Amino acid sequence: MEGLGSTRALDARGLVCPHPVLRTAKAMRSVDPGGTLTVLATDPVARIDFPYYCHHAGLELLSTTSRGEVLIFKIRKPETAVQLAPNRPIG
């Protein structure tokens, strides 16, 4: 069933660009297709970095919210791989 993949979390609070995205890219490798990763970050630049990363890595950014200074990104790995350009910068 679609949408019932695994759910994981990554705490990237206190890290600054590019480390939250780099750690997310590494963590996404172990997320099952259809699964999600929730990332906590405090770097304000992450609000720009995560939509860019998800777009170029073929991932779905489900939501971006905040609680105080903490940004919360919920990212979904698609059920089927997305064909991407061979020169994509990250992912």
For residue 88, being part of any structural domain is answered with no
For residue 40, being part of any structural domain is answered with yes
Residues with Cβ within 8 Å of residue 37, at least 6 apart in sequence? 7, 8, 9, 10, 24, 27, 28, 31, 74, 75, 77
Domain encompassing residue 64 = 7-76
For residue 47, being part of any structural domain is answered with yes
For residue 1, being part of any structural domain is answered with no
Tens of pLDDT, residues 1-59 = 344 567 899 999 999 999 999 999 999 999 999 999 999 999 999 999 999 999 989 99
Place of tokens 């990212």: 75
Q: What is the CATH number of the domain that holds 14?
A: 3.30.110.40
pLDDT of residue 7: 86
Which residues belong to the active site? 17
Cα–Cα distance for residue pair 82/13, rounded to 1 Å = 29
For residue 55, being part of any structural domain is answered with yes
Chain centre distance of CA 81: 15
Give phi and psi for 38, each to the nearest 5: -105, 125
For residue 84, being part of any structural domain is answered with no
